[in-house]
């Protein structure tokens, strides 16, 4: 499979395979349960969910426990991760780059730790995918910086980017109100995660 950007090939290949193996943890699942409980407390019941960049499904496992009857779709570029996703009951898997996928419209669509790895030149396409897929709520949970910057990532350059993703999304796609926002902290004594800023938006 050929991709448009170096970043897509990077995550579809061996580095993405290794990331998928590292990303399996009961500690992470517990933290995701705590996080998404907070999100659902603001959205109310959700009938359908789409995750862009689902990896092995640690976010979706938490959401399935919280919303056992919800329809769930996952977009994932890495074949090994897709194989794990297909083991999850009731998850529709879209294998390939999120830049080219057209998943179903869902009550909630979200990115969590994914936009930071997208080539900045393709962010407008990623934002458009979120706008087209999120029927009621859009969630962006990523590393935040008020101005765009690039950060070395595990010995690689041009593989991790920080910026105000949610602000850019709202600037490009009108009709979204900010419902809530917050911060996940790697030193949380009970539910540690990466240092991620999250923004929940509702379509007007």
pLDDT(13) > 90 = no
CATH code of the domain occupying 6-203 = 3.40.50.150
- Residue 182 makes CB contacts below 8 A (sequence gap 6+) with 38, 197, 198
Locate all alpha helices (DSSP H) within 57-172, ordered by sequence: 58-66, 79-85, 123-133, 165-172
- Residue 149 makes CB contacts below 8 A (sequence gap 6+) with 161, 162, 163
pLDDT(18) > 80 = no
pTM of the full structure? 0.93
- How would residue 9 be classed by pLDDT, with cut points 50, 70 and 90? confident
- How would residue 112 be classed by pLDDT, with cut points 50, 70 and 90? very high
- How would residue 10 be classed by pLDDT, with cut points 50, 70 and 90? confident
Domain boundaries, the chain: 6-203
What average pLDDT does this structure show over 34-39?
Answer: 98
Residue 96 · residue 53 · CB < 8 Å: no
What average pLDDT does this structure show over 119-130?
Answer: 96
- How would residue 15 be classed by pLDDT, with cut points 50, 70 and 90? low
First to last CA, the chain: 38
Nearest to 87 by CA among 56, 64, 62, 113: 56
% of the chain surpassing 90 pLDDT:
81
Summarised one tens digit per residue, pLDDT across range 78-89 is: 999 999 999 999
pLDDT reported for residue 8: 80
User: Token pair for residue 31?
Assistant: 């933290």
Lowest mean pLDDT among 68-72, 114-118, 155-159, 191-195: 155-159
pLDDT(109) > 90 = yes
Summarised one tens digit per residue, pLDDT across range 169-196 is: 999 999 999 999 999 999 999 999 999 9
């Amino acid at each position: 499979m050929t991709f448009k950007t170096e970043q897509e090939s990077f995550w579809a290949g061996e580095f993405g395979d290794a990331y998928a193996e590292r990303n399996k943890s009961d500690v992470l699942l517990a933290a995701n349960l705590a996080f998404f409980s907070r999100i659902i407390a603001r959205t109310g019941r959700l009938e359908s969910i789409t995750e862009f960049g689902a990896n092995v499904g640690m976010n979706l496992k938490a959401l399935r426990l919280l919303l056992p009857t919800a329809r769930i779709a996952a977009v994932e570029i890495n074949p090994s991760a897709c194989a794990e996703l297909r083991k999850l009951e009731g998850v529709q898997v879209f294998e390939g780059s999120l830049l080219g996928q057209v998943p179903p419209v869902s009550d909630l669509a979200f990115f969590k730790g994914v936009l930071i790895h997208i080539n900045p030149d393709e962010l407008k396409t990623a934002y458009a995918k979120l706008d087209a897929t999120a029927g009621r709520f859009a969630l962006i949970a990523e590393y935040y910086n008020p101005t765009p910057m690039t950060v070395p990532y595990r010995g690689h350059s041009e593989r991790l980017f920080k910026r105000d993703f949610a602000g850019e999304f709202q600037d490009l796609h009108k009709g979204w109100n900010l419902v809530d926002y917050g911060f996940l902290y790697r030193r949380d004594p009970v539910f540690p995660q990466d240092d991620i800023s999250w923004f929940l938006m509702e379509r007007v």
